Amino acid sequence: MMLYLAKVSRMPYLMTRGPDTTLVSTGPMTVTQGISSTLTATVNYAWDYHGAYDNYLQNVAAAEYYLDTPPWAGGTPLPMQAVDGQFDSPTEAVEAAVQTGSIPVGRHILFVRGRGVNSYEGYQSWGPVSATWLTVLPYASATPTETGTPPTATPTHTPVPTSTPTSTPCTAPTIQNGGFETGSFSPGWTILDTNPTPVISPNHRHTGGYAAFLGSIPNSEPYGDASIYQQLDVPASGGTLSFWYYPYSRDNIQFDWQDAYITDVNGNILATVMDVLESTETWTNVTYSLDAYAGQTVRVEFLVHQDGAGDVTNMYVDDVLLIEPCATSVPTTPTPTVTPTPMTTATSTATSTATSATTSIVSTATTTGTPAAPTPTPTMASISPTPTACTIQFSDVPQGSTFYQYIHCLTCLSIVNGYPDGTFRPNNNVTRGQLSKIVCIESDCRQFPSPTQMFQDVTPGSTFFPYVGWLASRGYINGYSCGGGGEPCVPPANLPYFRPNSNATRGQIAKIDSNVAGFTETPTGQQFEDISMGSAYYTYTYRLVARNVMSGYQCGGAGEPCIPPANLTLLQTQ
């Protein structure tokens, strides 16, 4: 209730008694212009006032969202629907398909609120808003993604009497004034957003005497962005962006954020390097591969957004570098040696796709050139070694069994593992925490900073904390509102619960997989007898079944009668 009152206090002209809105998210949170994103939230009017539960208890009657401009500033309301198809409960899961074809490229805020069936003194009972964000990428400049198999270095031995080069990381002179040691943003940096204006500060710095400061000091938070950027030419060999940041905030990521992007020369976001809201007040290093932009001109942008409510957010940035591999020749006595020459075995090309992923897969294979060989060259038989095969096997998953190829693949990629007795136990249930870890690692989420705590029962340092947090911060998963049996609300955050040890249902698995994969098409028609159109998991199961990722069970079994004329199969989402 304290969190609800805090939200009411920051909403101008709001009459109280409206329902609370929580768990607001978009999935996916980054889309190419023209691709829809699903906005979801929970509207709650199940209130207990001093034990008189019925004083305020009423059904939720409607929900709506606003794009960028909130209701008190004259924004245009857009309707949301009840996930179960009808507003008939005090607590409703709601959703809307956000069509981005006419939404400008860039980052946008979506404000969501709900109302009850009763009015008070002639006013509809709209509650306070909660918000999330949506990033729209240009159609022609979609996030580069890998097509085909990522390249791997396959050694082909060629006899060459020569020096053996070693690859040493070195700092390319591409970024100017990366440590801000000129005491100003010049040369190199451009101030972009000025609400408030970024400054150079000696107060906190990673090295040297200065760092860039974006955001506000306490008691002076405006509404808007503070941002800087530097345009650079990424070397043909690619490289790695490295920077340090020192964050502080009194807010949460629904309202404020600390970000870093790769954009094109017009400021359109190509990749989100960092999207956090932290208050660690310690220096943290972030690295990000720029191989996908090799040979291109891009911008590196840092941004702090604040909502003007007084709970400030800021960030120091320092030591911004572009690191690229430098070949250093180490002289040796010319003798006939067998020198591996890496070859790319599969073509990897960055292409613009209609489906935007939160992360781009970037090849880390580096090809080191072979110095020219002096003559004469000794003649030797060519050696073609066979790559080492993954030999992991489980006694209860023999070759040819239903799930063998999938379990073998994930195990060899170190995404899943088995038990000490040599079994995998494929018929065991998977918990919500385990599922989060599997999906997160498969999506290469480990390259991103650990998120802040988002669930009361998934604490920092716990087994599934980084995986659950990463998925939840991007809107791929959500939890359950606090206040239920054995799940008390813990002030001041009153975080929801994730229930990481509960078994994941087939419906939940379908939703997580579909969201992380970035599938966004609108479903048509019913595929399963137990997944009706408009039900909670209908959209997600449709998208996976359409791609042959999952299937159902034939009707006619116990408790699953065939219903003419369609005689549909059953998915068994529970």
* H or E element at residue 481: none
Task: Work out the average pLDDT over 352-358.
Answer: 33
pLDDT at 62: 94
Q: Are 509 and 572 in contact (CB under 8 A)?
A: no
Higher pLDDT, 298 or 438: 298
CA angle, residues 113, 71, 221, in degrees to nearest 5: 95
pLDDT at 202: 85
3-state secondary structure of 240: strand
DSSP string, 140-195: GGPPPEEESSPP-EEEEEEE--S-EEEEEEEE-TTSSSTT-TTSSSTTT-EEEEET
pLDDT at 375: 38
pLDDT band of 5, cuts 50, 70, 90:
low
Dihedral-angle region of residue 461 (phi above 0 means left; psi in -120 to 50 means alpha; beta otherwise): left
pLDDT at 52 over 90: no
3-state secondary structure 356-380: CCCCCCCCCCCCCCCCCCCCCCCCC
pLDDT at 162: 37
458 forms beta bridges with 455
* H or E element at residue 432: helix 432-442
Higher pLDDT, 420 or 184: 184
3-state secondary structure 250-300: CCCCCCCEEEEEEECCCCCEEEEEEEECCCCCCCEEEEEECHHHCCCEEEE
- Put simply, whether the predicted model's pTM sits higher than 0.75 gets the answer no
pLDDT at 469: 84
Domain boundary assignment for the chain: 2-137, 169-328, 521-574
pLDDT at 280 over 60: yes
Cis status of the peptide bond prior to 565, with omega within 30 of 0 = yes
Q: Which amino acid is at 22?
A: T
Assign domain 169-328 to its CATH superfamily.
Galactose-binding domain-like (2.60.120.260)
pLDDT at 362: 32
pLDDT band of 352, cuts 50, 70, 90:
very low
For 320, half-sphere exposure in the C-beta direction (CA atoms, 13 angstrom radius) is 29
pLDDT at 461: 79
Q: What tokens does 529 get?
A: 């007898």
pLDDT at 392 over 70: yes
What is the chain's mean pLDDT, rounded? 76
pLDDT at 336: 40
Topology classification of domain 2-137: Immunoglobulin-like (2.60.40)
Do you know the residue count of the chain?
574
pLDDT at 387: 43
pLDDT at 14 over 80: no
pLDDT at 384 over 60: no
Distance CA 548, CA 44 (A): 36
Higher pLDDT, 551 or 303: 303
> If you search the block for the tokens 């100017």, which residue do you land on?
176
pLDDT tens, position by position, 209-239? 889 999 987 667 888 999 999 999 998 888 8
Q: Measuring CA to CA, which residue among 87, 59, 21, 63 is closest to residue 496?
A: 21
Taking each continuous run of H as one helix and of E as one strand, the counts in the chain are: 6, 24
Task: Work out the average pLDDT over 431-443.
Answer: 84
Higher pLDDT, 178 or 554: 178
Q: Measuring CA to CA, which residue among 304, 313, 302, 193 is closest to residue 252?
A: 313
pLDDT at 546: 82
pLDDT band of 382, cuts 50, 70, 90:
very low
Which range in 3-17, 316-330, 420-434 is most confidently predicted, on average pLDDT?
Answer: 420-434
> If you search the block for the tokens 């935007």, which residue do you land on?
356
Dihedral-angle region of residue 479 (phi above 0 means left; psi in -120 to 50 means alpha; beta otherwise): beta
pLDDT at 166: 40
> If you search the block for the tokens 């040369």, which residue do you land on?
187
225 forms beta bridges with 305
Q: Are 62 and 125 in contact (CB under 8 A)?
A: no
> If you search the block for the tokens 């409960």, which residue do you land on?
89
3-state secondary structure of 8: helix
Task: Work out the average pLDDT over 144-171.
Answer: 39
Q: Are 28 and 47 in contact (CB under 8 A)?
A: no
Whole-Å CA distances, 82 to 39, 42, 96, 484: 12, 9, 9, 21
Q: Are 273 and 261 in contact (CB under 8 A)?
A: yes
Task: Work out the average pLDDT over 503-514.
Answer: 86
Task: Work out the average pLDDT over 521-525.
Answer: 83
pLDDT at 169: 46
